[in-house]
Amino acid sequence: MTRRQLLATYHSLLLSFGAQHWWPADSPFEVMVGAILTQNTAWTNVERAIANLVERDKLDATSIVRARNDHLAGWLRPSGYFNIKAVRLKNFCRWYLEQGGFRALSRLPTQSLRRALLSVNGVGHETADDMLLYAFERPVFVIDAYTRRLFSRLGFVTGNENYDELRLAIEAQLDPDVALYNEYHALIVRHAKAHCRVKPHCTECVLNHLCPAAGAPARRDQAGIC
Protein backbone atom coordinates (compact mmCIF):
# COMPACT_ATOMS: atom_id res chain seq x y z
CA MET A 1 0.00 0.00 0.00
CA THR A 2 1.62 3.19 -1.15
CA ARG A 3 1.02 6.84 -0.38
CA ARG A 4 0.21 7.36 -4.06
CA GLN A 5 -2.49 4.67 -4.07
CA LEU A 6 -4.08 6.11 -0.97
CA LEU A 7 -4.05 9.66 -2.30
CA ALA A 8 -5.31 8.62 -5.73
CA THR A 9 -8.21 6.79 -4.10
CA TYR A 10 -8.96 9.79 -1.90
CA HIS A 11 -8.96 12.23 -4.79
CA SER A 12 -11.22 10.02 -6.89
CA LEU A 13 -13.71 9.76 -4.06
CA LEU A 14 -13.59 13.48 -3.37
CA LEU A 15 -14.07 14.30 -7.04
CA SER A 16 -17.04 11.93 -7.33
CA PHE A 17 -18.88 12.66 -4.12
CA GLY A 18 -17.62 16.04 -2.90
CA ALA A 19 -16.89 17.06 0.68
CA GLN A 20 -19.07 15.22 3.21
CA HIS A 21 -18.75 17.71 6.09
CA TRP A 22 -18.54 15.14 8.89
CA TRP A 23 -19.30 14.58 11.73
CA PRO A 24 -22.99 15.60 11.56
CA ALA A 25 -23.36 17.00 15.09
CA ASP A 26 -23.60 20.33 16.90
CA SER A 27 -21.01 19.63 19.59
CA PRO A 28 -18.12 17.30 20.43
CA PHE A 29 -20.28 15.63 23.06
CA GLU A 30 -22.96 14.91 20.47
CA VAL A 31 -20.26 13.36 18.28
CA MET A 32 -19.34 10.99 21.08
CA VAL A 33 -22.96 10.06 21.77
CA GLY A 34 -23.48 9.42 18.07
CA ALA A 35 -20.32 7.30 17.90
CA ILE A 36 -21.73 4.94 20.52
CA LEU A 37 -25.25 4.87 19.09
CA THR A 38 -24.13 4.19 15.53
CA GLN A 39 -22.42 0.92 16.41
CA ASN A 40 -23.61 -1.52 13.74
CA THR A 41 -26.58 0.76 13.10
CA ALA A 42 -27.82 2.91 10.23
CA TRP A 43 -27.26 6.61 10.87
CA THR A 44 -30.89 7.56 10.17
CA ASN A 45 -31.88 5.49 13.20
CA VAL A 46 -29.26 7.22 15.32
CA GLU A 47 -30.68 10.60 14.32
CA ARG A 48 -34.07 9.62 15.69
CA ALA A 49 -32.57 8.54 19.00
CA ILE A 50 -30.59 11.77 19.32
CA ALA A 51 -33.70 13.76 18.41
CA ASN A 52 -35.49 12.03 21.30
CA LEU A 53 -32.75 13.14 23.67
CA VAL A 54 -32.82 16.71 22.38
CA GLU A 55 -36.61 16.81 22.55
CA ARG A 56 -36.43 15.96 26.26
CA ASP A 57 -33.39 18.16 26.86
CA LYS A 58 -31.30 15.13 27.82
CA LEU A 59 -28.36 15.52 25.44
CA ASP A 60 -25.78 16.14 28.15
CA ALA A 61 -23.71 13.83 30.33
CA THR A 62 -25.35 14.80 33.63
CA SER A 63 -28.89 14.22 32.40
CA ILE A 64 -27.93 10.88 30.90
CA VAL A 65 -26.23 9.70 34.07
CA ARG A 66 -29.25 10.73 36.14
CA ALA A 67 -31.84 9.19 33.81
CA ARG A 68 -33.49 5.90 34.66
CA ASN A 69 -32.17 3.04 32.56
CA ASP A 70 -35.59 2.11 31.24
CA HIS A 71 -36.31 5.72 30.30
CA LEU A 72 -32.96 6.08 28.57
CA ALA A 73 -33.50 2.81 26.72
CA GLY A 74 -36.88 4.10 25.58
CA TRP A 75 -35.35 7.25 24.12
CA LEU A 76 -32.65 5.20 22.39
CA ARG A 77 -35.09 2.63 21.01
CA PRO A 78 -34.94 3.73 17.34
CA SER A 79 -31.18 3.20 17.24
CA GLY A 80 -31.46 -0.51 18.01
CA TYR A 81 -29.68 -2.52 20.74
CA PHE A 82 -31.31 0.02 23.02
CA ASN A 83 -30.86 -1.87 26.29
CA ILE A 84 -27.16 -2.38 25.75
CA LYS A 85 -26.67 1.11 24.38
CA ALA A 86 -28.42 2.66 27.37
CA VAL A 87 -25.91 0.94 29.64
CA ARG A 88 -22.96 1.84 27.41
CA LEU A 89 -23.96 5.45 27.02
CA LYS A 90 -24.45 5.82 30.74
CA ASN A 91 -21.10 4.13 31.43
CA PHE A 92 -19.44 6.51 29.06
CA CYS A 93 -21.12 9.61 30.49
CA ARG A 94 -20.25 8.66 34.05
CA TRP A 95 -16.63 8.24 33.04
CA TYR A 96 -16.73 11.45 31.02
CA LEU A 97 -17.88 13.46 34.05
CA GLU A 98 -15.34 11.75 36.32
CA GLN A 99 -12.59 12.76 33.93
CA GLY A 100 -13.68 16.38 34.09
CA GLY A 101 -15.42 16.63 30.73
CA PHE A 102 -14.20 17.64 27.31
CA ARG A 103 -11.78 20.36 28.33
CA ALA A 104 -9.92 18.12 30.75
CA LEU A 105 -9.76 15.21 28.30
CA SER A 106 -8.53 17.55 25.57
CA ARG A 107 -5.31 18.10 27.49
CA LEU A 108 -4.29 14.45 27.14
CA PRO A 109 -1.93 13.45 24.35
CA THR A 110 -3.56 11.33 21.68
CA GLN A 111 -2.18 7.96 22.74
CA SER A 112 -3.20 8.47 26.36
CA LEU A 113 -6.62 9.67 25.36
CA ARG A 114 -7.02 6.65 23.11
CA ARG A 115 -6.17 4.25 25.93
CA ALA A 116 -8.51 6.12 28.26
CA LEU A 117 -11.42 5.93 25.81
CA LEU A 118 -10.79 2.22 25.19
CA SER A 119 -10.95 1.57 28.93
CA VAL A 120 -14.65 2.45 28.92
CA ASN A 121 -16.89 -0.59 28.55
CA GLY A 122 -18.80 -0.17 25.32
CA VAL A 123 -16.12 1.87 23.56
CA GLY A 124 -14.08 -0.23 21.14
CA HIS A 125 -11.44 0.68 18.58
CA GLU A 126 -13.64 2.28 15.98
CA THR A 127 -15.81 4.16 18.44
CA ALA A 128 -12.72 5.50 20.21
CA ASP A 129 -11.20 6.59 16.92
CA ASP A 130 -14.43 8.26 15.80
CA MET A 131 -14.24 10.28 18.99
CA LEU A 132 -10.53 11.02 18.62
CA LEU A 133 -10.87 12.24 15.05
CA TYR A 134 -14.29 13.90 14.99
CA ALA A 135 -14.65 15.19 18.56
CA PHE A 136 -11.03 15.79 19.64
CA GLU A 137 -9.71 16.51 16.15
CA ARG A 138 -6.71 14.21 16.45
CA PRO A 139 -5.08 12.80 13.31
CA VAL A 140 -6.32 9.22 13.68
CA PHE A 141 -7.39 7.21 10.65
CA VAL A 142 -10.67 5.47 11.48
CA ILE A 143 -10.97 1.86 10.34
CA ASP A 144 -14.38 0.36 9.76
CA ALA A 145 -15.69 -2.66 7.87
CA TYR A 146 -15.92 -0.57 4.68
CA THR A 147 -12.32 0.58 4.93
CA ARG A 148 -11.01 -2.94 5.36
CA ARG A 149 -13.15 -4.27 2.52
CA LEU A 150 -12.38 -1.42 0.14
CA PHE A 151 -8.61 -1.42 0.64
CA SER A 152 -8.65 -5.19 0.50
CA ARG A 153 -10.53 -5.27 -2.82
CA LEU A 154 -8.28 -2.57 -4.21
CA GLY A 155 -5.38 -4.89 -3.40
CA PHE A 156 -3.76 -2.50 -0.90
CA VAL A 157 -3.89 -5.01 1.97
CA THR A 158 -4.79 -8.66 2.54
CA GLY A 159 -7.76 -7.95 4.80
CA ASN A 160 -6.35 -10.14 7.56
CA GLU A 161 -4.72 -7.27 9.42
CA ASN A 162 -6.13 -6.49 12.82
CA TYR A 163 -7.47 -3.04 13.61
CA ASP A 164 -4.29 -1.30 14.71
CA GLU A 165 -2.13 -2.99 12.10
CA LEU A 166 -4.32 -1.61 9.36
CA ARG A 167 -4.66 1.82 10.96
CA LEU A 168 -0.91 2.21 11.48
CA ALA A 169 -0.12 0.96 7.99
CA ILE A 170 -2.34 3.70 6.54
CA GLU A 171 -1.17 6.41 8.91
CA ALA A 172 2.43 5.56 8.04
CA GLN A 173 1.77 6.55 4.42
CA LEU A 174 -0.11 9.78 5.04
CA ASP A 175 0.60 13.07 6.75
CA PRO A 176 -1.10 13.39 10.16
CA ASP A 177 -3.76 15.62 8.64
CA VAL A 178 -7.03 15.87 10.57
CA ALA A 179 -8.95 17.37 7.64
CA LEU A 180 -7.71 14.64 5.31
CA TYR A 181 -8.58 11.81 7.71
CA ASN A 182 -11.94 13.38 8.43
CA GLU A 183 -12.89 13.56 4.78
CA TYR A 184 -11.34 10.25 3.78
CA HIS A 185 -13.32 8.16 6.25
CA ALA A 186 -16.53 10.01 5.44
CA LEU A 187 -15.96 9.44 1.72
CA ILE A 188 -15.38 5.72 2.22
CA VAL A 189 -18.74 5.50 3.97
CA ARG A 190 -20.36 7.61 1.26
CA HIS A 191 -18.89 5.36 -1.43
CA ALA A 192 -20.24 2.26 0.30
CA LYS A 193 -23.73 3.74 0.33
CA ALA A 194 -23.53 4.32 -3.40
CA HIS A 195 -23.03 0.59 -3.87
CA CYS A 196 -26.00 -0.80 -2.05
CA ARG A 197 -27.72 -3.89 -3.40
CA VAL A 198 -29.73 -1.73 -5.77
CA LYS A 199 -26.61 -1.08 -7.82
CA PRO A 200 -24.18 -3.91 -7.20
CA HIS A 201 -22.28 -3.48 -10.44
CA CYS A 202 -18.58 -2.88 -10.59
CA THR A 203 -19.10 -1.01 -13.87
CA GLU A 204 -20.60 1.87 -11.89
CA CYS A 205 -17.82 2.07 -9.34
CA VAL A 206 -15.98 5.40 -9.47
CA LEU A 207 -12.79 3.63 -8.40
CA ASN A 208 -12.72 1.23 -11.33
CA HIS A 209 -9.57 2.79 -12.76
CA LEU A 210 -7.80 1.76 -9.55
CA CYS A 211 -9.45 -1.62 -9.10
CA PRO A 212 -7.76 -4.88 -10.10
CA ALA A 213 -11.17 -6.62 -10.09
CA ALA A 214 -12.78 -4.13 -12.50
CA GLY A 215 -14.75 -5.98 -15.14
CA ALA A 216 -15.19 -9.03 -12.96
CA PRO A 217 -18.75 -10.20 -12.30
CA ALA A 218 -20.54 -8.10 -9.73
CA ARG A 219 -20.37 -9.45 -6.20
CA ARG A 220 -23.60 -10.03 -4.38
CA ASP A 221 -22.24 -11.32 -1.12
CA GLN A 222 -22.11 -7.85 0.40
CA ALA A 223 -22.69 -4.28 -0.64
CA GLY A 224 -20.83 -4.25 -3.91
CA ILE A 225 -17.49 -2.55 -4.04
CA CYS A 226 -15.06 -3.58 -6.70
Partner DNA sequence: ACCCAGGGTCATA
Partner DNA sequence: TATGACCATGGG
Q: Is 111 in the site for DNA (CB under 7 A)?
A: no
**Which residue, 209 or 220, has its beta carbon nearer to DNA?**
220
Q: Is 82 in the site for DNA (CB under 7 A)?
A: yes
Q: Is 77 in the site for DNA (CB under 7 A)?
A: yes
Q: How far is the CB of 181 from DNA (least distance, A)?
A: 13
Cβ(140)–Cβ(167) under 8 Å? yes
DSSP assignment of 210-224: G-TTTTSPPP-SSS-
Q: Is 145 in the site for DNA (CB under 7 A)?
A: yes
Q: Is 137 in the site for DNA (CB under 7 A)?
A: no
**Which residue, 89 or 105, has its beta carbon nearer to DNA?**
89
Q: Return the percent helix, strand and coil in the chain, to nearest 5.
A: 60, 0, 40
Return the SS3 of 69. Answer: helix
**Which residue, 24 or 101, has its beta carbon nearer to DNA?**
24
55 φ, ψ (degrees, to nearest 5): -55, -35
CA distance 61 to 202: 45
Q: Is 127 in the site for DNA (CB under 7 A)?
A: yes
* Site string (20-49) toward DNA, x via CB under 7 A: --xxx---------xx--xxxxxxxx--x-
Q: How far is CA 54 from the centre of its chain?
A: 22
114 Cβ neighbours under 8 A, 6+ residues apart: 128, 129, 132, 140
Cβ(75)–Cβ(53) under 8 Å? yes
Q: How far is the CB of 90 from DNA (least distance, A)?
A: 13
**Which residue, 57 or 221, has its beta carbon nearer to DNA?**
221
Contact residues: DNA, CB under 7 A: 22-24, 34-35, 38-45, 48, 77-78, 80-85, 120-128, 130, 134, 144-146, 162, 189, 192-193, 196-198, 221-223
